[in-house]
Structure 1
Protein backbone atom coordinates (compact mmCIF):
# COMPACT_ATOMS: atom_id res chain seq x y z
CA UNK A 1 0.00 0.00 0.00
CA UNK A 2 1.26 3.46 -0.87
CA UNK A 3 2.08 6.01 1.81
CA UNK A 4 1.12 8.95 -0.40
CA UNK A 5 -1.31 11.48 1.01
CA UNK A 6 -4.80 11.15 -0.42
CA UNK A 7 -5.96 14.33 -2.08
CA UNK A 8 -9.28 15.32 -3.57
CA UNK A 9 -7.73 15.00 -7.02
CA UNK A 10 -6.57 11.44 -6.42
CA UNK A 11 -9.95 10.49 -5.00
CA UNK A 12 -11.84 12.08 -7.91
CA UNK A 13 -9.64 10.16 -10.34
CA UNK A 14 -10.59 6.97 -8.49
CA UNK A 15 -14.26 7.95 -8.59
CA UNK A 16 -14.18 8.61 -12.33
CA UNK A 17 -12.33 5.35 -12.93
CA UNK A 18 -14.89 3.36 -10.89
CA UNK A 19 -17.76 4.68 -13.03
CA UNK A 20 -16.34 3.00 -16.12
CA UNK A 21 -16.44 -0.62 -14.87
CA UNK A 22 -19.80 0.07 -13.21
CA UNK A 23 -21.29 0.83 -16.63
CA UNK A 24 -19.41 -2.06 -18.28
CA UNK A 25 -20.56 -4.57 -15.65
CA UNK A 26 -24.13 -3.34 -15.99
CA UNK A 27 -23.95 -3.84 -19.75
CA UNK A 28 -22.64 -7.38 -19.17
CA UNK A 29 -25.54 -8.17 -16.85
CA UNK A 30 -23.49 -8.26 -13.62
CA UNK A 31 -25.90 -6.16 -11.58
CA UNK A 32 -24.20 -6.84 -8.23
CA UNK A 33 -20.75 -5.92 -9.56
CA UNK A 34 -22.14 -2.82 -11.26
CA UNK A 35 -23.82 -1.72 -8.03
CA UNK A 36 -20.61 -2.22 -6.06
CA UNK A 37 -18.46 -0.18 -8.46
CA UNK A 38 -21.11 2.56 -8.74
CA UNK A 39 -21.30 2.91 -4.97
CA UNK A 40 -17.53 3.11 -4.63
CA UNK A 41 -17.42 5.79 -7.33
CA UNK A 42 -19.81 7.83 -5.20
CA UNK A 43 -17.92 6.97 -2.00
CA UNK A 44 -14.62 8.27 -3.41
CA UNK A 45 -16.30 11.37 -4.88
CA UNK A 46 -17.84 12.12 -1.48
CA UNK A 47 -14.43 11.73 0.20
CA UNK A 48 -12.90 14.04 -2.40
CA UNK A 49 -15.64 16.62 -1.89
CA UNK A 50 -15.15 16.60 1.88
CA UNK A 51 -11.39 17.05 1.59
CA UNK A 52 -11.67 19.75 -1.08
CA UNK A 53 -14.35 21.66 0.83
CA UNK A 54 -12.13 22.28 3.80
CA UNK A 55 -14.60 20.55 6.12
CA UNK A 56 -12.95 19.72 9.45
CA UNK A 57 -12.52 16.00 8.76
CA UNK A 58 -9.52 13.69 8.94
CA UNK A 59 -7.96 12.53 5.68
CA UNK A 60 -8.95 8.96 6.63
CA UNK A 61 -12.64 9.92 6.75
CA UNK A 62 -13.43 6.98 4.45
CA UNK A 63 -12.41 4.46 7.08
CA UNK A 64 -16.07 3.72 7.80
CA UNK A 65 -18.96 4.05 5.40
CA UNK A 66 -21.36 5.44 7.99
CA UNK A 67 -18.76 7.99 9.12
CA UNK A 68 -18.24 9.22 5.58
CA UNK A 69 -21.95 9.39 4.80
CA UNK A 70 -22.63 11.23 8.06
CA UNK A 71 -19.83 13.75 7.48
CA UNK A 72 -20.94 14.31 3.87
CA UNK A 73 -24.47 15.00 5.06
CA UNK A 74 -23.43 17.23 7.97
CA UNK A 75 -20.84 19.35 6.19
CA UNK A 76 -21.95 19.44 2.55
CA UNK A 77 -25.69 18.74 2.44
CA UNK A 78 -27.32 20.21 5.55
CA UNK A 79 -25.72 23.65 5.38
CA UNK A 80 -23.51 23.33 2.36
CA UNK A 81 -23.45 23.48 -1.39
CA UNK A 82 -24.81 19.99 -2.11
CA UNK A 83 -28.53 19.59 -2.75
CA UNK A 84 -30.51 17.18 -0.62
CA UNK A 85 -31.41 15.24 -3.76
CA UNK A 86 -27.75 14.64 -4.59
CA UNK A 87 -27.05 13.82 -0.95
CA UNK A 88 -29.77 11.15 -1.00
CA UNK A 89 -28.08 9.46 -3.94
CA UNK A 90 -25.17 8.40 -1.72
CA UNK A 91 -27.50 6.97 0.94
CA UNK A 92 -29.53 5.02 -1.61
CA UNK A 93 -26.41 3.63 -3.29
CA UNK A 94 -25.08 2.49 0.09
CA UNK A 95 -28.32 0.63 0.85
CA UNK A 96 -28.37 -1.10 -2.54
CA UNK A 97 -24.65 -1.95 -2.32
CA UNK A 98 -25.28 -3.74 0.99
CA UNK A 99 -27.80 -5.97 -0.78
CA UNK A 100 -25.35 -6.63 -3.62
CA UNK A 101 -22.40 -7.44 -1.39
CA UNK A 102 -23.83 -8.99 1.77
CA UNK A 103 -27.47 -10.05 1.64
CA UNK A 104 -27.12 -12.98 -0.74
CA UNK A 105 -29.83 -11.65 -3.03
CA UNK A 106 -29.10 -10.12 -6.39
CA UNK A 107 -29.95 -6.51 -6.98
CA UNK A 108 -32.85 -5.95 -9.34
CA UNK A 109 -31.60 -4.90 -12.80
CA UNK A 110 -33.67 -1.69 -12.65
CA UNK A 111 -32.09 -0.79 -9.29
CA UNK A 112 -28.59 -1.48 -10.62
CA UNK A 113 -29.25 0.67 -13.69
CA UNK A 114 -30.55 3.46 -11.46
CA UNK A 115 -27.50 3.30 -9.15
CA UNK A 116 -25.04 3.36 -12.07
CA UNK A 117 -26.82 6.36 -13.61
CA UNK A 118 -26.93 8.10 -10.24
CA UNK A 119 -23.23 7.44 -9.66
CA UNK A 120 -22.42 9.06 -12.99
CA UNK A 121 -24.52 12.08 -11.98
CA UNK A 122 -23.02 12.19 -8.49
CA UNK A 123 -19.43 12.02 -9.71
CA UNK A 124 -19.94 14.60 -12.45
CA UNK A 125 -21.82 16.94 -10.09
CA UNK A 126 -18.52 18.39 -8.92
CA UNK A 127 -15.53 20.03 -10.44
CA UNK A 128 -12.30 20.85 -8.75
CA UNK A 129 -10.15 23.90 -9.27
CA UNK A 130 -8.23 23.70 -6.03
CA UNK A 131 -11.49 24.34 -4.17
CA UNK A 132 -14.71 22.40 -3.97
CA UNK A 133 -17.62 23.60 -6.08
CA UNK A 134 -20.91 21.75 -6.47
CA UNK A 135 -22.84 21.95 -9.70
CA UNK A 136 -26.57 21.63 -9.33
CA UNK A 137 -27.98 18.64 -11.15
Structure 2
Protein backbone atom coordinates (compact mmCIF):
# COMPACT_ATOMS: atom_id res chain seq x y z
CA UNK A 1 0.00 0.00 0.00
CA UNK A 2 1.31 3.46 -0.88
CA UNK A 3 1.20 6.64 1.17
CA UNK A 4 -1.37 8.10 -1.24
CA UNK A 5 -3.61 5.06 -0.80
CA UNK A 6 -3.31 5.39 2.98
CA UNK A 7 -4.21 9.08 2.80
CA UNK A 8 -7.22 8.15 0.64
CA UNK A 9 -8.28 5.64 3.31
CA UNK A 10 -7.83 8.32 5.97
CA UNK A 11 -10.01 10.73 3.99
CA UNK A 12 -12.72 8.10 3.58
CA UNK A 13 -12.65 7.28 7.30
CA UNK A 14 -12.91 10.99 8.12
CA UNK A 15 -15.93 11.35 5.83
CA UNK A 16 -17.51 8.34 7.51
CA UNK A 17 -16.86 9.87 10.93
CA UNK A 18 -18.64 13.05 9.86
CA UNK A 19 -21.64 11.09 8.55
CA UNK A 20 -21.85 9.03 11.74
CA UNK A 21 -21.70 12.19 13.82
CA UNK A 22 -24.64 13.63 11.89
CA UNK A 23 -26.52 10.35 12.36
CA UNK A 24 -25.97 10.43 16.13
CA UNK A 25 -23.70 7.38 16.27
CA UNK A 26 -21.03 8.82 18.55
CA UNK A 27 -19.27 5.51 19.18
CA UNK A 28 -18.95 4.94 15.43
CA UNK A 29 -17.81 8.54 15.02
CA UNK A 30 -14.89 8.01 17.39
CA UNK A 31 -13.96 4.73 15.75
CA UNK A 32 -13.79 6.23 12.26
CA UNK A 33 -12.06 9.42 13.46
CA UNK A 34 -9.35 7.29 15.06
CA UNK A 35 -8.89 5.19 11.93
CA UNK A 36 -8.57 8.34 9.84
CA UNK A 37 -5.69 9.34 12.10
CA UNK A 38 -4.27 5.81 12.13
CA UNK A 39 -4.07 5.61 8.34
CA UNK A 40 -2.68 9.15 8.04
CA UNK A 41 -0.01 8.29 10.63
CA UNK A 42 0.93 5.16 8.68
CA UNK A 43 1.23 7.24 5.50
CA UNK A 44 3.39 9.86 7.22
CA UNK A 45 5.68 7.19 8.65
CA UNK A 46 5.94 5.52 5.26
CA UNK A 47 7.05 8.83 3.76
CA UNK A 48 9.35 9.73 6.65
CA UNK A 49 11.11 6.36 6.68
CA UNK A 50 11.37 6.15 2.91
CA UNK A 51 10.61 2.45 3.09
CA UNK A 52 7.81 0.11 4.04
CA UNK A 53 8.72 -0.44 7.69
CA UNK A 54 5.58 1.48 8.73
CA UNK A 55 3.47 -1.16 7.00
CA UNK A 56 5.13 -3.88 9.06
CA UNK A 57 3.95 -2.42 12.38
CA UNK A 58 1.35 -4.86 13.70
CA UNK A 59 -0.22 -3.13 16.71
CA UNK A 60 -1.95 0.15 17.43
CA UNK A 61 0.41 0.86 20.31
CA UNK A 62 3.37 0.09 18.06
CA UNK A 63 2.19 2.55 15.44
CA UNK A 64 1.53 5.26 18.01
CA UNK A 65 4.97 4.69 19.57
CA UNK A 66 6.68 4.83 16.16
CA UNK A 67 4.75 7.99 15.26
CA UNK A 68 5.85 9.62 18.50
CA UNK A 69 9.46 8.52 18.19
CA UNK A 70 10.01 9.22 14.49
CA UNK A 71 7.82 12.26 13.91
CA UNK A 72 6.89 14.00 17.17
CA UNK A 73 10.20 13.69 19.04
CA UNK A 74 12.13 14.76 15.94
CA UNK A 75 9.99 17.89 15.60
CA UNK A 76 8.50 17.03 12.22
CA UNK A 77 5.05 16.90 13.82
CA UNK A 78 3.80 19.02 16.71
CA UNK A 79 3.37 17.61 20.19
CA UNK A 80 -0.28 18.69 20.02
CA UNK A 81 -0.90 16.33 17.09
CA UNK A 82 0.77 13.49 18.95
CA UNK A 83 -1.38 14.11 22.00
CA UNK A 84 -4.59 14.30 19.99
CA UNK A 85 -3.75 10.96 18.33
CA UNK A 86 -3.45 9.37 21.77
CA UNK A 87 -6.64 10.97 23.09
CA UNK A 88 -8.73 9.96 20.08
CA UNK A 89 -7.42 6.42 20.48
CA UNK A 90 -8.58 6.51 24.11
CA UNK A 91 -12.06 7.57 22.96
CA UNK A 92 -12.11 4.76 20.42
CA UNK A 93 -11.26 2.24 23.12
CA UNK A 94 -14.09 3.56 25.27
CA UNK A 95 -16.50 3.46 22.33
CA UNK A 96 -15.47 0.04 21.03
CA UNK A 97 -14.73 -1.92 24.18
CA UNK A 98 -15.67 -0.27 27.46
CA UNK A 99 -19.31 0.33 26.73
CA UNK A 100 -19.38 3.76 28.35
CA UNK A 101 -21.37 6.26 26.31
CA UNK A 102 -19.43 8.76 24.22
CA UNK A 103 -20.95 12.22 24.47
CA UNK A 104 -21.66 14.39 21.44
CA UNK A 105 -19.01 16.92 22.50
CA UNK A 106 -16.36 14.19 22.62
CA UNK A 107 -17.38 12.87 19.20
CA UNK A 108 -17.32 16.37 17.70
CA UNK A 109 -13.90 16.97 19.21
CA UNK A 110 -12.60 13.67 17.79
CA UNK A 111 -13.78 14.54 14.27
CA UNK A 112 -12.24 18.00 14.47
CA UNK A 113 -8.95 16.60 15.73
CA UNK A 114 -8.93 13.93 13.03
CA UNK A 115 -9.45 16.55 10.32
CA UNK A 116 -6.62 18.73 11.66
CA UNK A 117 -4.38 15.64 11.97
CA UNK A 118 -5.04 14.30 8.46
CA UNK A 119 -4.69 17.74 6.87
CA UNK A 120 -1.42 18.47 8.73
CA UNK A 121 0.13 15.12 7.79
CA UNK A 122 -0.92 15.53 4.17
CA UNK A 123 0.90 18.88 4.12
CA UNK A 124 3.92 17.30 5.78
CA UNK A 125 4.03 14.66 3.07
CA UNK A 126 4.39 17.18 0.25
CA UNK A 127 7.23 19.10 1.91
* TM-score computed with the length of structure 1 as normaliser: 0.86
Q: Where does residue 132 of structure 1 map in the other structure?
A: 125
TM-aligned CA deviation for residue 22 of structure 1: 0.2
Q: Where does residue 3 of structure 1 map in the other structure?
A: none
User: In structure 2, what is the Cα distance between the partners aligned to 1:68 and 1:28?
Assistant: 30
> Structure 1: which 4+ aligned runs deviate by more than 6 Å?
none
SS in 1 for 2:100: coil
Structure 1: 5+ residue stretches without partners: 1-5
TM-aligned CA deviation for residue 11 of structure 1: 0.5
Q: Where does residue 27 of structure 1 map in the other structure?
A: 22
Aligned length: 126
Point out the structure with the larger strand share.
1
User: In structure 1, what is the Cα distance between the partners aligned to 2:92 and 2:118?
Assistant: 17
SS in 2 for 1:59: helix
User: In structure 1, what is the Cα distance between the partners aligned to 2:50 and 2:78?
Assistant: 17
Question: 53, 58, 73: which one pairs with 2:48?
Answer: 53
User: In structure 2, what is the Cα distance between the partners aligned to 1:127 and 1:34?
Assistant: 21
Higher relative contact order, chain-length normalized (CA < 8 Å, sep 6+): 2
TM-aligned CA deviation for residue 60 of structure 1: 2.1
Root-mean-square deviation (CA), in Å?
1.7
